[in-house]
Structure 1
Amino acid sequence: MQFLTTDETSMPSTPDTHLLRNTNFRWLLGGGLVSMLGDQFSMLALPWLVLSLTGDSLSLGIAVALMGAPRAVLILLGGTIADRYSARRVMLLSKYAQAAILFLLAALLWLDQASLALAYAAALALGIASAFAIPAGTAILPQAVPASSLQKANGLQMGARQLSLLAGPLLAALVLGAHDGARQTAMTALAAAFAIDALTFVFSAWTLRQVALRPLAAAAAQGMWREMAAGLAMVWRDVPLRSCYAYWALVAFFVMGPLQVALPVLASERLQGAAALGLLMGAHGAGTLAGMLCSGLGGAWLRRHFGATLLAVDAAVAVLLMALGQISAAWQGAALLALTGLLGGYLQVAIFTWIQRRVTPAMLGRAMALFMGIFLGLAPLSAAATGALLRHASVGELFCGGGALLLAAAVAAALLTGIPRIGEADCVIQP
């Protein structure tokens, strides 16, 4: 069943094995990679700005919260607007807005007008803009590449993001290297970092304008809140989608807190402190990148057995988490986390592809916004719960308990839901 006004021949129809020859995808991948690298400049510069002004960890926490909270609160509205007014238009406006915010911030820092209020305002504004950009960005890809190429396209895009997380901070550190000097020198270095990120937004907006998207069938206009409610109702009525979203909420709660909070504690208590933590995080990041880049392997088989593979991989990750709580050396943790990242990266691409293939393009922005809202909303709750539990349990007990709960969730989903039977036949857009 197709919901497009034109068929696949209306856009470059490139075989899956030659995806990089697809002009649309090259524009998306190139512009996205540059923009993601630029994001790392701001992700480092903004905390440094707050700490330079205050030296206060609470102020830093407030700035991070001001950037993160709007994403969780407004992301469903962002997805609704992307579906209503075109994902590309929303994405372009968001990029222009973020570029303007960063250029203004850079100019004020160059003029030595830095203040904590300015940092807070920039964090809040960037968070609001990203709440609209994130769902719009995920809704564009299915309109730009053939349906048969979605798995590989998602793998390459997510791999590029993971690569930017590894390389971006190193590039940003070169720009911020002058930060230890006088105040004016420090502010100039920070201003340069923000200006570089702004330029990458402008560049990626230009590349996005070069992409030829398939037109979507016109949808009946409704009120904004009715369209948002329609997106929620669509997910609720779709039993496989609803089951997966509920299951992923459990997974997010059991996994994200231990990785964000308990892992640093593990490195501090049992290993060599900060150096060990860097090794563990690097191993997990490298494994995730490898998993994303390998996501094209077994694509046809994975589409036929998506649900069963999902639960099997999560069960394996649960066992790895339990083993992580028993380690006594950094290399053991690095090996376990590299394998965890490999499985997680592979599965993450499969999940994004399944949602994009299952949901009609007119609803995709809302569906992806709700999916990502689950993780954005539960991450702080999971972190808080993990921190509270660590006051009463050892870090080893916490990893074992979290892994056991994840394993129980996977087994319960296998026995009590239809998730194991989800496969290619459940996709709306067929290959």
Structure 2
Amino acid sequence: MFSEGSLLRNRSFLFVWVAGLCVMLGFSMFFLSVSWFIVDVLKQQAVLGIVLMSMSIPRVIMMIYGGVLADKVRKSLIMFVTNLMQVGIMVALIILFLNGWLNMTSLIVIALIFGFLDAFFFPAVSSMIPIIVREDQLQRANSLFQGSTELMFIIGPLIAGILLTIGDFTLTFSASAFLIFLSAVFVFPPLINDPKPDRTEDQQSALKDLKVGLRYVRQSQIHRTGTLSIVIVNLFLLGPILISFPILVEALGGTPFELSLFEGGLSVGTFLASILIVIWNVQKQRGKLVFTSLLISFVLFIMFSQFETLPVLVLLAGLTGFVGMFVYLPTVTMVQEKTDKDKLGRVMSLITLAASGFEPIAFGLISILVAMDLPIQTVLALSGVFGLLLSFLLVWKSKGFRQLD
């Protein structure tokens, strides 16, 4: 497991990596299928946001406890059980569809359960990687995992679209369930052979475990500054840019194809950045790289808010995603390297929460401002300027982080 060979000869990492690819591909196909079912079959476009929120809210609420559990229970076991439970939910979804019982109520319940299970899966997998790879391979491992899973969010919707063209929702739901089942197979604990956590603290309550994790992050500059960097990017850049795509396309008279170009451009940018980080495997002056990328990403985002030409907007979306990954990936790796192994789950759950938990807040804030008849370009510009000012403040206050390798 810790041989001196190539990262791709690390059997445990390969199994976790393939499991991540399968589950992300399955999820992306599932999300598109459910969205299209709501819009095309149920004809309830306005309720689509409620389903998406039903998936994100329990994920955000339970994410911290998922990290606590990842420090107390074998990580591969958490991933295995979570995947099997998701397969069970998918089977129930297929049965409901085949019998004509699939409606908004059942979809909201399914979304709630999926979000709940996600809160346990992702802290487990993100805290697993530092345990099964050597420290000098950690940057490449994180980049390879993140970049390839981003690619699944490009491929998945395309596959789902093809399957819906040649078949019906039974085919796409079944394919999603099969991929998630494959993920469970690859993370079967005896295959991964990850160590069992030390059980000396098992009698400590989850609340006390959570307080320990929060105190640990608060007292370390690298953890505190890294987490704040990710929060700023997601709250003021990624969340706003994601929700702006359909609004911009509609305002500019675009089509669903243009919308797919926006989403694809952002995903391609993040994917290419991840691959570059795998090849580069940067180890020096990573603190300076993170801060420089943070500032440049907001400059690009402000430029994005000022254009109204679709090709230019797609290009800027891709560039923004590309630079933004140089904030996220080096930060995650530095945090993992500086975290005690028995606290990885809690720390990575906080990082994951910072990476995904603030996007729904951004969605809500942007929606409110747009509902107040503010032009979307104005809203994006305000978000970009505020994020840039906070970034400058963070850089100014975090001299120690700037000097980190």
Alignment CA distance shift 1:128-1:328 (3 Å) = closer
Length, aligned pairs only: 401
Residue from 357, 360, 363 that aligns with 1:380: 360
Deviations 1:214-248 (A, max 9, x none): 45555423122211221112112223312332343
Residue 300 (structure 2) pairs with residue 320 (structure 1): yes
Corresponding residue number in structure 2 for 1:411: 392
Matches within 5 A, 1:352-431: 352-390=332-370, 391=372, 393-418=374-399, 420-424=401-405
State the TM-score, normalizing by the size of structure 2. 0.91
- Preserved CA contact (<8 Å) 2:73 2:196: no
Counterpart of 1:296 in 2: which secondary structure? Answer: helix
Q: 2:232 aligns with which of 222, 228, 250?
A: 250
User: Does 1:99 pair with 2:80?
Assistant: no
1:201 to 180, 183, 186: 180
Q: Partners in 1 of 2:104 and 2:309 — Cα distance? A: 41
Structure 1 pair 208/219, CA: closer, same or farther in 2 (3 Å)?
A: same
Match of 1:223? 205
Cα offset for 1:103? 1.4
Would you say the 8 A contact 1:243–1:419 is kept in 2? no
Question: 1: distance between equivalents of 2:137 and 2:58?
Answer: 33
Q: Shift in Å at residue 138 of structure 1?
A: 0.8
The equivalent position to 1:287 in structure 2, one of 246, 256, 269, is 269
Distance 1:120 1:346, change over 3 A: same
Indicate conservation of the 8 Å contact 2:265/2:314, yes or no: yes
C-alpha separation in 1, matches of 2:390 and 2:367: 22
Q: Deviations over 1:227-280 (max 9, x none)?
A: 122111211222331233234323322113420233433333346454433323
* Higher alpha-carbon deviation: 43-52 or 309-318: 43-52
CA distance in structure 1 between the aligned counterparts of 2:103 and 2:247, rounded to whole angstroms: 33
Q: Say if 1:71 and 1:265 are closer, same or farther in 2 by CA, change over 3 A.
A: same
Residues 38-71 of structure 1: per-residue CA shift (max 9 Å, x gap):
1122112222333456311233222222111100
Distance 1:174 1:276 in 2: 18
Which deviates more, 70-79 or 51-60?
Answer: 51-60
Counterpart residue number, 2:110:
122
Question: Residue 247 and residue 33 in structure 1: after superposition, are their counterparts in 2 closer, same or farther (change >3 A)?
Answer: closer
Asked whether the equivalents of residues 257 and 383 of structure 1 are also in contact (C-alpha less than 8 Å), the reply is yes
Contact 1:308 1:419 in 2 (8 A): no
Q: Structure 2: any 5+ residue segments left out of the alignment? A: none
Q: Which residue among 36, 39, 43 is the counterpart of 1:48?
A: 36
Q: Which amino acid in the other structure matches residue 377 of structure 2? A: G
Instruction: Give the Cα separation in 1 of the matches to 2:120 and 2:77.
Output: 11
Work out which of the residue numbers 185, 192, 215 in structure 2 matches 1:233.
Answer: 215
Q: Alpha-carbon deviations, 1:61-88, whole Å to 9, x = none?
A: 2222211110011110111111111211
Instruction: Describe the shift of the 1:242–1:275 C-alpha distance in structure 2 as closer, same or farther (beyond 3 A).
Output: same
> Is the 2:241–2:380 contact (alpha carbons within 8 Å) kept by the matching residues of 1?
no
Is it true that 1:70 corresponds to 2:51 in the alignment? Answer: no
Which deviates more, 212-221 or 126-135? 212-221
Distance 1:114 1:399 in 2: 37
Going from structure 1 to structure 2, the CA distance change for 1:271 and 1:219 (only over 3 Å counts) comes to farther
TM superposition score normalised by structure 1: 0.86
Please report how far the alpha carbon of residue 170 of structure 1 lies from its aligned counterpart in structure 2 after TM superposition: 1.0
Check whether the contact 2:302–2:384 (CA below 8 A) recurs between aligned residues: yes
In 1, the alpha carbon distance for the partners of 2:256 and 2:177 equals: 31
The 2-side partners of 1:107 and 1:275 are apart by 32
Separation in structure 2 between the aligned mates of residue 244 and residue 142 of structure 1, nearest angstrom: 17
Q: Which residue of structure 1 lines up, in the alignment, with residue 9 of structure 2?
A: 21
Alignment counterpart, residue 211 of structure 1, candidates 192, 217, 230: 192
Supply the AA of the counterpart residue of 2:268.
A
How far did residue 392 of structure 1 move? 5.2
5+ residue gaps, structure 1? 1-10, 180-188, 425-431
**3-state SS in 1 of match to 2:277:** coil
Partners of 1:283 and 1:212 in 2: CA distance: 38
After TM superposition, the structure 1 stretch with the greater mean CA deviation from structure 2, 239-248 or 335-344, is: 239-248
State yes or no: 1:148 paired with 2:140: no
The one-letter code matched in structure 2 to 1:45 is S
Give the whole-Å Cα distance in 1 for the aligned partners of 2:106 and 2:77: 28
Is the 1:244–1:419 Cα contact (8 Å) retained in structure 2? no
Contact map agreement 1:252 1:375 (CA 8 A) in 2: yes
Query: What code does the residue aligned with 2:396 have?
Result: L
Matched, 1:259 2:241: yes
**Larger Cα Rg: Structure 1 or Structure 2?**
1
Structure 2 partner of 1:7: none
Q: What amino acid is the match of 2:155?
A: A
Instruction: Give 1:346's aligned residue.
Output: 326
1:111–1:275 distance in 2 versus 1, CA, 3 Å: closer
Deviation at 1:313, TM superposition (A): 0.6
Question: Does 2:13 match 1:31?
Answer: no
Residue 174 of structure 1 corresponds to 162
Distance 1:219 1:343 in 2: 42
CA distance in structure 2 between the partners assigned to 1:365 and 1:150 by the alignment = 16
Q: Match of 2:404, as an amino acid?
A: G
